[in-house]
Chains A and B, each alone.
Chain A
Amino acid sequence: MSKVFSFHGGIHPPDNKKRSTRAPIGKAPLPKRLVVPMQQHIGGPADPVVKIGDQVLKGQLIAEPISRISASIHAPSSGRVVDIAAYPIPHASGLSEECIVIETDGEERWIEHQGLGDYTRLKRTDLIEHIRGCGVAGMGGAGFPTDVKLHLSEDHIVNTLIINAAECEPYITADDMLMRERAHEVLGGIEIIAHLLRPSHVLIGIEDNKPNAIHALESVLKHTDLNIDIVVVPTKYPSGGERQLIKLLTDIEVPSGRIPADIGIVCQNVGTTSAIYRAVHFGEPLISRIVTVTGDAVLHPRNLETLIGTPFSTLLEACDLRPEALSRLVMGGPMMGVTADNDRIPVIKTTNCLIAATEQEMPAAQPAQACIRCGMCEQACPAELLPQQLYWFAKGREFDKARHHNLFDCIECGACAYVCPSNIPLVQYYRFAKSEIRTEERDQQKADHARQRFEARQARLEREVAEKEARRKARAEEAAKAQQQKAAAKDDSGAQPAAAAQPDAKQLKTAAAVARTKLKKAQDALKNAEEKGLDGIDTLRATVETLEKKADEAQQAFEQTEGKTPAPATESGPHSAEQAEPDTKALKQQVSIMRTKLKKAESALESCEDEAERSGLQAEVDELKQRFEQATAVFEQAEQAVIARAAGAGIDLKQLRIDAAMARAAVTKGERSLTKAESDEERNRIEQDLAAARTKADELNLTLSQYE
């Protein structure tokens, strides 16, 4: 037998366990309505997969996990889903959360299910996935999804598997009764876990106040060839705490902020082992558990195999509650449990005990008095913290300091409050401080996130403004440049008209128009002045004369360029086409340019109203039309020549084009599938195909380019 070590502190409260172990495990009556909460443990809630009105069978999946740390939930009995809404859940806050309500039909019809048979032949991941699918979660306290723990051997070396059968809290006997009556299930579960984690030895830690359970375990252990040791530890609260039990059995302390797997140890509760056994050998999901119903207010305290979702009232009735005697209903043990507001709250996967206490049994807390700094709390603390110090920090809201004194290593066991002579509700202070710190952290995280988003938005806005500014500047610069050019052109046209500088005909046209308008204005002014006999007629007359001259010049310059530019264009058409006969592309382009020009001129003609200008424009349009027709003719000629040439070589140009396009498509397709290919073999094959497709495409392109 292994050596037993010791942990610091601890207390010896009256255990009150015997009363509920006299009767064997009973079966809780089937309630009319089962209320199954979607969140039964730490981690993410499950997501319902059934709708209101659906018929469900016992063991049917009704909600699936949405995150890694989350567990599936199954219908505890057959019936109809009547509601999916928020109902009070077993939580210290007394708040409501989403629950699926099933109206039972009393038939208890099971969904088809079967065990895995020889699980040792399965792949480990498949086995774990099966256990995850059965919604198995830790049945000790926090309800941590079991499959997560079973994966631990992948990135940790697991030497020791510890089965937690200590059940140190007073009143609770669920695990004790389970071991007495179903020791083979516990062993079966241990075998499965050992198969998955491959520890070098397995330790079952059990308190010495459960001799019957120890005996039952010992008798089944004879039939196993696993290296399992039952370690009987002295009764002391809280030896069932994970870290305390590890210290007791191995004398190793789990470092602060780490998990036991970091030192090669994995802990599982006995209840969980039995659930794993049932899941693997019978394919039964976790839909029921053993709950101890006890306390002075019930006449027949005992353990009941209870469906998840059974309201507390059903259990209390089954154990003959004396309603007049009940003063407090506690879910969980007397040390760490929380008071339930009402008896409609349902049993969940982690509900191990229900205490219906009388006034005498659990009197209201005495008013707290001042701390006298006796230091008894420090003597009792199993986590070796300084409870008194933490109390001052929590009270003074110095959460940073509380944190530095390792507040988060506190397991909230209540040993300090139990020994406190001043009746200070120490654990309440720690819970308060912890939740304050957690809220603060959440807020800080949210604030950081908001800051990031705000800054990103700010940067975006600034960038947009800068871009706008840059665009505006570019436009202004362009305008200035155009202005400059205009001025330069003007100067040029003044010095040596159009011919030398070859200015844009358009610009000259505008210049001519401007000159004309100016002249007209001046003429009007002159007329006006003459009629009214105003002063400065002479100056006006002189201005008109100069303007007349300028307008004439501008008109001339414009006409000259107009006359000149079309000439090379008309010439360039047929000539260049003849010279560079195969350049059909350029010809095509020219044709389209001509078409646009023609269209523009035509629309200008339509919108024009002035008679004189109209005739001018008409002439222009006619000329353009002619030129366009010429260019088209030339293009068609060239095209015909190309096709004829291709036909001469025995190739249908159209077909060639289609072939080339198809070859190109084949190449791109090949490239795409190459990036998707997974195995080397496949890749090689695709690469070969691709190379062939490429050569073909290149060849076709080459032939095509010869004709185009």
Chain B
Amino acid sequence: MSTVLTAIIVLFLLAALFGIVLGYASVRFKVEGNPIVDQIDAILPQTQCGQCGYPGCRPYAEAIAGGDAINKCPPGGQSTIDALADLLDVEAVPLDAEHGEEKPRSVAYIREDECIGCTKCIQACPVDAILGAAKQMHTVITSECTGCDLCVEPCPVDCIDMIPIETTPNTWKWPEPPSPMQLIATDRGRGVAASEAH
């Protein structure tokens, strides 16, 4: 009887001890904010274009952390979806066409002699990449432009073009070597040629 009692007391004491330790740790090492949001935000392309329906990449990251779909980001494209799927351990789904399609990266270009200096595009730019003042010509700082398209719509004289970024020898990528799929295709071709020969 006394052994049972001792065991119960010891277990109770242990439970109490761990409870105190855990309770202290949860207060002492409390994590402010949701770390997953930062990780998701780091993967998103930061164009701040709002095509996902949220006002910027961080709000969308928060929405994803809250359970929203991961395939609403057209600028990021499939690679972003894959990275998000990897991070959140969910299945990678194709891009939701409702929010737009993946386009090559581009930068805004203001046709400067047509600009009337209305500052509407400056207010629309999420990264302050447009320079200008009221009644003065505006111009885009191309190195800061994320190509989000947000300045195109507010322009009253439609003088903003989105120009795809050209590949230079410095940004050129080596192509992926042909995959074995093509190998099989040529084999099939050979087979056809052989049967025709017969």
Contacts and interface: CB of A to CB of B under 8 A. Distances in A.
Contact of A450 (B127, B178, B180): B127
Contacts of B175: 432
Interface in B172-190: 172-178, 180, 183, 186
B84 to A, nearest CB: 14
Interface in B144-165: 144, 146
B169 A91 contact: yes
Given A95-B168, A370-B180, A450 B48 contact: yes
A367 B186 contact: yes
B169 A447 contact: no
Contacts of A431: 174
B77 to A, nearest CB: 11
A352 to B, nearest CB: 19
Contact of B127 (A95, A432, A443, A457): A457
Interface in A432-451: 432, 434-436, 439, 442-443, 446-451
A39 interface: yes
A432 B174 contact: yes
B177 A425 contact: yes
A92 interface: yes
A89 interface: yes
A608 interface: no
A392 interface: no
B46 A95 contact: no
Interface string B118-129: 000000001111
Nearest to B129: A453
Given A447-B45, A450-B48, A454-B126, A95 B169 contact: yes
Interface string B9-50: 000000000000000000000000000000001001111100
Contacts of B172: 91-93, 95, 435
Contacts of B129: 453
Contact of A451 (B57, B169, B171, B177): B57
Main SS at interface, chain B: loop
B3 interface: no
A450 B174 contact: no
A369 B179 CA distance: 10
Contacts of A370: 180
A432 B46 contact: no
A428 interface: yes
Main SS at interface, chain A: helix
A454 B45 contact: no
B167 interface: yes
Contact of B146 (A434, A450, A456): A450
Contacts of A446: 46, 146
A457 B174 contact: no
B168 to A, nearest CB: 7
Contact of B183 (A368, A435, A457): A368
A449 B145 CA distance: 10
A367 B186 CA distance: 10
Nearest to A453: B127
A650 to B, nearest CB: 57
A457 B173 CA distance: 33
A384 interface: no
Interface in B81-139: 126-129
A431 B176 CA distance: 9
B180 A368 contact: yes
A97 interface: yes
A110 interface: no
A454 B177 contact: no
B167 A368 contact: no
A92 B167 CA distance: 13
Contacts of A447: 44-46
A57 to B, nearest CB: 29
A408 interface: no
B126 A457 contact: yes
Interface in A347-390: 367-370
A429 B178 CA distance: 10
A453 B186 CA distance: 51
A453 B174 contact: no
The number of chain B residues touching the other chain, given as a range, is: 20 to 34
Q: A429, A447, A449: which has the most chain B beta carbons within 10 Å?
A: A447
A369 B47 CA distance: 42
Contact of A436 (B46, B48, B173): B173
Nearest to A89: B169
Nearest to B182: A367
B57 A429 contact: no
Interface in A82-108: 89, 91-93, 95, 97
Contacts of A92: 172, 174
Contact of A454 (B46, B173, B180): B46
Nearest to A430: B174
Nearest to B144: A453
Nearest to B174: A431
A176 B154 CA distance: 65
Contacts of B176: 432
B56 A454 contact: yes
A450 B46 contact: yes
Nearest to A431: B174
Contacts of A449: 144
Contacts of A456: 128
Contact of A93 (B46, B127, B167, B178): B167
Contacts of A425: 177
Contacts of B57: 451, 454
Contacts of B44: 447
Interface string B64-82: 0000000000000000000
Contacts of B167: 93, 95
Contacts of A97: 168-169
Nearest to A451: B46
A89 B168 CA distance: 11
Contacts of B41: 451
A367 B181 CA distance: 12
A417 to B, nearest CB: 11
A447 B168 CA distance: 20
B6 to A, nearest CB: 53
A322 B40 CA distance: 60
A447 B127 CA distance: 11
A454 B58 CA distance: 10
A97 B169 CA distance: 8
A371 to B, nearest CB: 10
A70 to B, nearest CB: 13
A367 B179 CA distance: 10
A39 B174 contact: no
A453 B126 CA distance: 8
A429 B128 CA distance: 39
Contacts of B45: 443, 447
Contacts of A458: 56
Q: B44, B47, B129, B173: which has the most chain A beta carbons within 10 Å?
A: B173
A633 B168 CA distance: 81
A336 to B, nearest CB: 14
B171 A448 contact: no
Contacts of B173: 432, 435-436, 439
Nearest to B179: A395
A442 B127 contact: no
Contacts of A95: 167-169, 172
A7 to B, nearest CB: 26
23 contacts: A39-B169, A93-B167, A93-B169, A97-B169, A368-B178, A431-B174, A432-B173, A435-B174, A443-B45, A447-B45, A447-B46, A450-B144, A450-B146, A451-B41, A451-B46, A451-B57, A453-B127, A453-B128, A454-B46, A454-B48, A454-B56, A454-B126, A454-B127
| 3 pairs of A and B residues whose beta carbons are closest in the complex | A93-B172, A447-B46, A450-B46
Given A93-B172, A428-B177, A443-B45, 4 more contacts: A450-B127, A454-B48, A454-B126, A457-B126
